[in-house]
Every structure is written in C-alpha cells, then in structure tokens.
Structure 1
Amino acid sequence: MKFDPGFKITPTSAPLGFQYGQRVFGPQVENRTLDSIRKNLRDPNCTGPDIVYSIAMDVGCEEDREEIVKRNLLYGAVTYAKGNLGEEPVRSQGHVHAVSPSCGMSTCEVYEIWSGAAYIYMQETTRDFPGRCYAVLAYPGEVVVVPPNWAHCTIVADITKNMSFGAWCVRDFGFDYSGVRSHGGVAWFPIVKDNNIIFQKNDSYQTEECVVKRPRRYSDLGIEAGKPIYTQFQENPDRFLFVSNPKLADWEHFVP
C-alpha cells in the first residue's frame, strides 16, 4: 500500500479482499458484483469486472475491539477493482446512510484512502433537486468526510490501479438505496474521457453544478492530517464519537 493504515491489513487483488496480520480481526469479505449494481449505472447493460469491490466490515486490532464496540463504532475496509463499467470508471452504486436505531439519525462516514485514488462523490439529497453536489478527489493518506443524510458513492479515480480505503462508521449501520435507484443513479455520472474523469449530469435530477475539489482539513472535527485515522482512535478513543452520535458535530453548513 501507499499509505500505512495503522494496523496490519493488506489489500489483495487475486481475488479482491484483504489479508489480516497477527492480532488483527476481520470477517470474510462480501463481494459486490456488477450485476448487483447495474440499476444505478449510466449504462445498466455495460461490461466490466464481475467483482466490482470487496468489503470487510468490522476490522481492527484485537486489543482495540472492546473500546470500538463500547463507542458503537465500526471500522470498515473496502478494495475496488481497476477498470471501467462501460464509459464509467469502477464505482459503487450510491446510497444514503439509513437512520441508525442507536442514535435515531442518519450518520456520517470518515474515509481514508490507502492506495490508488478515489473520488468521493456526494449530494445533499436524493430528491429531484439534489442540492449541493461535490466530487472530492483524494489520494493515499487523505481523509474525506461524508455528512449524515447525504447520498454518496465511491469512484476509482485512476482506472489503471485497484483502490482501497478504510472508514469509520456507526456499528448499527444501514443503507438506503431507494432514492438513488428511483433516479437511475446519483445526480452526476463519472465518465472516463481521454484518460481523465469528467462528471456528466443525470437528467433525472434538476441540478446545474458538480463542484470538483480536493479534500479540506477537518480540524473542526478533531481530525489530524497525515496520521492514520485508526491510530488517531487508538490515541483518543473518543475522537470519532461524532460518527456514532452525529449531534456532537455541526453539519448545517458542512463543506467536504
């Protein structure tokens, strides 16, 4: 990997997945196939990798497990195949975080890119007018935060390389795909053109702009730049309580 995630976990490519080091816990990965995400793609009949990405929800060091569970947090890891899905780069289908019973709210997610490059795309709502739309380009070691209630998807920004990331999320997570699926995808489709990625409007929405930007620093959320977010939890287990209890942060004027 290009960035040390702070514990012993290694993405694999054949097959997609992860290897766990000594004293690291983690599940057998769940695979998302191309057939399972077709409804949210620009071209539902496109060709591409059969396994688009592999997910390992709930990974970490054995000695940290109790503190993670106590705070209702979960650390997930995802690795994506390189390549295209028709004209689009490999990507996820898009969803909103469902209301978590533990806090009675939709929750945020804190991404950290480990290898490759990613666009974290997000929009305020899945209504016809989706509000603000952002595509945040991140490289290894960089963090992107998606706020509660926003629809979002993860996009491979360099289609020549697999992409992997880790993320803090709430333990009783859930995904709502209904709004995205009712519009045939998110409000802006990523399109590969001349080895670059551009964003093309989904005509199912009333929107005029997708802001493409780099990540900002999240000092307002207590996140330190350049240090693995897993290590930051180890140093201060309460640092990411705003993930499992969104009321601890101000999301009204959030900019990614």
Structure 2
Amino acid sequence: MTDYGLDMSVHQQPLGFSYGNDVIGPMPEIRTLDQIRGSLRDPDCDGPEQVYAIAMDVARLQDREELQKRMLLFGVVTYAAGQLGDEPIRSQGHVHRISQHSGWSPPELYEIWQGKAIIYMQEFVEDEPGRCFAVLAGPGEKVLVPPGWGHATISASPDEALTFGAWCDREYGFEYEAVRAHKGLAWYPLVQNNNIIWQHNSHYLPGRLQVVTPRKYTEFGITDEPVYQQFINDPARFQFISKPEKAAASWLNFHP
C-alpha cells in the first residue's frame, strides 16, 4: 500500500502481515499476554491472549543490500483491539541495548499507520526518571525516541487496532531488567470512559508528565512522506538511527 511506502497488508484475524511481490519480511512474532505481564500495572489482568504481532526487517528486495550496509532495519507492529485490564493495549517498556558497531543505545523513529498511539518516553530508567513525555500521534505522524530513553508504545484507541512502522538499528536489542525492577515505566496509562488517564508509578520519585503532540523533526531532515519512501528517496536520510553520533548535537536537550 502506498500509504506505507512499501507493498504490504496488515491483518487482525489472525494478527500479522502479508507482503507484496517485491517485499520480504519474516513471519511475525506474537507477544502474548503472559509474556508481558511483568511490565503491566496489574500483572494478573485479563485481556487478549495475543497482544501484538511484530515483524522486524521488512524491506523491498532491492533495498536489502543498502539497508545492511547502513545497519538499518525497518520493523512493523500491529496491536489487538481491547484492553489489558484497566490499561490500554501496549508494548513492554524497554531501553535499547547498546549496539556494538556504534557504541550507542540507538534511537527509533515511529510512523503511525492505523489507529491512534501514545509514544511514552522517559530520559532514564532509574529512581529519578528525568523528563517524561507522552506523545499522542495519529496516522501519518512521526515520533522520534532519542538514544538511551526508556519507552513504550500505547494504543490510544481501545476500540480499534493500532499499527505502526519504525526505523531501527540493525543490531537492535531490548533491555527489560531496569523497567521490570521498577514495576514498569514511571507513568501507567489507564483507560477511563474510553480516554487515557495517567497514574504515577510509586517505584519512581515524583515528577511531571508532559503530554504533547508530534512536532516536525526538521533538524533530522524528516519530511511528511511515508518514512520508508523517504529512505527510497534518500538512503542516507536515516543514518542517524544506526549512527547516532552523526546527530550528537541534536540529542542534547532533545524535546520530542
């Protein structure tokens, strides 16, 4: 589909993806409720057995060599509709593992395809979490998570599925230990009267949550086009994802 920047389809029954003739990708990994209970406010909650499907390294055949050379990877994720107890459908909070080739915990660029999302992020996964943001985004909007920040992707539309794509480092890896030690991230999203409200996680020091809408990341050269199409147009555009040092000055005092 042209809206995605590459030829693929998203399915809800069952959760997953199918690819066009010039696109390749893996069978999706399914994250079950039992697998993510340790990151939830209520680990004993009820919800969809299959919470989300994730496929990493989706690409057009002709782009594979260029992506490998640039250490870039494109991932796609789709969530089930519904709730996890009184929480919305959401990913596990995590920090990106430091990549050996760059020595950085890589950033990540999200693009929402279907539904509404909240990209929650905090500077540190420590008792003092630093600045905390919840970025509310809809179809076509982009959200950039800077290097080293703890983050999670949350559905802001419980009655419909959420689907998004993301540019990642090819050596991607997730660190969950610090988040789980704090029983989650610093703020829990809760569903109340079909709206998202926020509850502070008492395992962190008190702080403030800033709820914002996406901005234009002009300093990174990001445009309004689908992010995969932006790579096709300019394969060097997202080099700051796999080589964050190229944008070191832009990460200082970063505001999403």
Q: Scaled by the length of structure 1, what TM-score is found?
A: 0.98
Q: Which residue of 1 aligns with 2:59?
A: 60
Unaligned runs of 5+ in 1: none
Across the two proteins, how many residue pairs are aligned to each other?
254
Deviation at 1:252, TM superposition (A): 1.3
Q: Which residue of 2 aligns with 1:243?
A: 241
Q: Which residue of 2 aligns with 1:154?
A: 153
1:185 counterpart letter in structure 2? G
Q: Which residue of 2 aligns with 1:255?
A: 255
Counterpart-to-counterpart distance in 2, 1:9 and 1:120: 23
Instruction: Extract structure 1 runs of 4+ deviating beyond 2 A.
Output: none
2:31 counterpart letter in structure 1? R
Counterpart-to-counterpart distance in 1, 2:121 and 2:206: 13
Q: Which residue of 2 aligns with 1:30?
A: 29
Q: Which residue of 2 aligns with 1:134?
A: 133
Q: Scaled by the length of structure 2, what TM-score is found?
A: 0.98
Counterpart-to-counterpart distance in 2, 1:106 and 1:6: 27
Counterpart-to-counterpart distance in 1, 2:23 and 2:215: 31
Deviation at 1:64, TM superposition (A): 1.0
Counterpart-to-counterpart distance in 2, 1:99 and 1:186: 19
2:197 counterpart letter in structure 1? I
Q: What SS class does the counterpart of residue 4 from structure 2 fall into?
A: coil
State percent identity of aligned pairs: 54
1:254 counterpart letter in structure 2? F
1:92-141 residue CA offsets vs partner (Å, 9 max, x unmatched) = 11100010011011000000000011000000001001000000000000
1:156-179 residue CA offsets vs partner (Å, 9 max, x unmatched) = 000000010000000011111011
1:174 counterpart letter in structure 2? G
Deviation at 1:194, TM superposition (A): 1.1
Counterpart-to-counterpart distance in 1, 2:88 and 2:198: 11
2:245 counterpart letter in structure 1? K
Counterpart-to-counterpart distance in 2, 1:97 and 1:38: 20
Deviation at 1:208, TM superposition (A): 2.0
1:199-246 residue CA offsets vs partner (Å, 9 max, x unmatched) = 110000013211111001000111002x00100000000000000000
Counterpart-to-counterpart distance in 2, 1:141 and 1:46: 32
1:98 counterpart letter in structure 2? R
Q: What SS class does the counterpart of residue 4 from structure 1 fall into?
A: helix
Q: Which residue of 2 aligns with 1:5?
A: 4
Q: What SS class does the counterpart of residue 49 from structure 1 fall into?
A: coil
